[in-house]
Structure 1
Amino acid sequence: MARRALTTTAAALTAAAALLLTGCGGSDKSSSDDIKGADTGSGSPSASASTSDAGAPDISVPSDFHLVFDFDVPSDAKQASALSDAQNYIRALKHGISKQDPNDPAYQYYSTGQAAQYSKSQIQAWVKGHWTVTGTDKYYDANVTSLSGGKRELVTFCRNQAKSYSKEIKSGKILYTGENADSYVKYQLLMYPPTGSAKAWKASLVEVKGKAKECQK
């Protein structure tokens, strides 16, 4: 099922990324807080950091799919922007799935290199299965660590996909699954600041850890 394939495919794509992230200094491994009663709409406080980008692509998702980002906004402006566009990277991936377009410009706007390859491969898997997204997808316990004197930011966060489901496009059938160890995922995204005419931070590397015990509650 596509919802589970997301992490399985990631393992093959991110082996090199894991080594590179470790070489960059790793991430904060402190224990995470409980999932809070977050806004179940498509936004969060961190979303406002990139709203001034008039050239940003559409990253909307279907009305029956809710992305919840329960993130505390960092006081540092650069870290706040990096976290906001890491969130937009996730939105762009889901947008590409809903549009069934492996070459969707949305994820390309917020990613490059291995992170862009990861998004494309995920969208391709959903297209092949004739699935789209539905339900509620929760992200929480975000942490941002500055690397190389602030030249890049390592963004980490947890995910609970227990209520995020695949839906067959043709029949509309929702493929329900119960909550289990596979529901909990840990993300690490290496974010680079805008260069040239670009306005968005871009994810260059993404590591996805399945059955993340540190995210389980």
Structure 2
Amino acid sequence: MTRRRRRPAPLAAITLTFAAALTLSGCGGEDGTSDRQGKAASAGDGPSASPSVPMAGDRPAIEFPSDAKNVFEDEKTGDSAKDAVLADSALSINAVDEAIFTGSADTKALGFYNVDKALTSSIAYVQGYIDDNDTWIGVTRYFDRQAKFKGTDKAYVTYCSDESKSYIKNKKSGKVDRSPASADSYVLYNTALAKNPAGVWQTTDISSKRGDAACQP
């Protein structure tokens, strides 16, 4: 184990339209390698990539263990529409982590906030942790979160993650990998979202680039 807990699985590339909408330098890139390559399960091992439309009033609760926390900056932009997109983007991230903590890719929240390619990628990513009997502890910070719209029902969100204070923990041995922080502790994410008929902003596609210069401290 040589990296922090977010070891990007092979994530789906986002369209050129998405890349054109971004403003962060270096956006649109995607990791060409994976720490868990070959270990990802197929979408058939978890929830469907095309679940029924969830209702906004039926939002599932997301629970974290006491030794893990995600911190999201830039929650209030002064624009209520952007704030709503960023809020659901954060819940998409939390849903993936909850699945890791529970050791199941069949949680309600995972398929509620992630659909299409994003759900398929998330299932594979979570399955990598399950296969290795791993989880994570500590605090991950999300910063430089920016939202852009394409029409009224599509949006793009870019953000950085700081994993310098979060660590992989093996459930069986209890061993925690506390390798020193490095440039790879910071990851750039590009995501696409769509608003469903119930008004939920669901993440539909995602790409990541570990160690990107745009996210370095």
**Shared fold, TM over 0.5:** yes
Q: Which residue of 2 aligns with 1:134?
A: 137
CA-CA distance at 1:203 after TM superposition: 0.3
Alignment of 1:36-75 (within 5 A): 53-75=56-78
**Contact conserved, 1:2 with 1:131, CA < 8 A, in 2?**
no
Instruction: Please state if 1:109 is matched with 2:121.
Output: no
Q: CA RMSD in A?
A: 2.2
C-alpha offsets along residues 136-195 of structure 1, whole Å, 9 cap, x if unaligned? 111001111111x23311111111111111111122221111110110101111111121
Q: Which residue of 2 aligns with 1:210?
A: 210
Instruction: Please state if 1:191 is matched with 2:186.
Output: no
Q: Which residue of 2 aligns with 1:182?
A: 184
Q: Which residue of 1 aligns with 2:29?
A: none
* SS in structure 2 at match of 1:17: coil
**Which residue identity is paired with 2:163?**
Q
**Contact conserved, 2:190 with 2:206, CA < 8 A, in 1?**
yes
**Which residue identity is paired with 1:29?**
L
More RCO (CA 8 Å, sep 6+): 2
CA-CA distance at 1:8 after TM superposition: 4.2
Unaligned runs of 5+ in 1: 32-52
**Contact conserved, 1:2 with 1:129, CA < 8 A, in 2?**
no
Q: Which residue of 2 aligns with 1:158?
A: 160
C-alpha offsets along residues 66-87 of structure 1, whole Å, 9 cap, x if unaligned? 1111124222222111110000
Q: Which residue of 1 aligns with 2:21?
A: 26
**Contact conserved, 2:190 with 2:207, CA < 8 A, in 1?**
yes
Taking structure 1 as the reference length, what is the TM-score of the superposition? 0.79
Q: CA separation in 1, counterparts of 2:69 and 2:158?
A: 20
Q: Which residue of 2 aligns with 1:167?
A: 169
More helix by share: 1
**Which residue identity is paired with 2:184?**
D
Q: CA separation in 1, counterparts of 2:193 and 2:81?
A: 11
Q: Which residue of 2 aligns with 1:41?
A: none
Judged with a 3 Å threshold, the aligned counterparts in structure 2 of structure 1 residues 6 and 135 are, in CA distance, closer, same or farther, namely closer
**Contact conserved, 1:28 with 1:145, CA < 8 A, in 2?**
no
| Equivalent of residue 89 in structure 2, options 86, 96, 115 | 86
Judged with a 3 Å threshold, the aligned counterparts in structure 2 of structure 1 residues 208 and 18 are, in CA distance, closer, same or farther, namely farther
**Which residue identity is paired with 1:28?**
T
The number of equivalent residue pairs is 189
**Which residue identity is paired with 1:211?**
G
Q: CA separation in 1, counterparts of 2:15 and 2:180?
A: 29
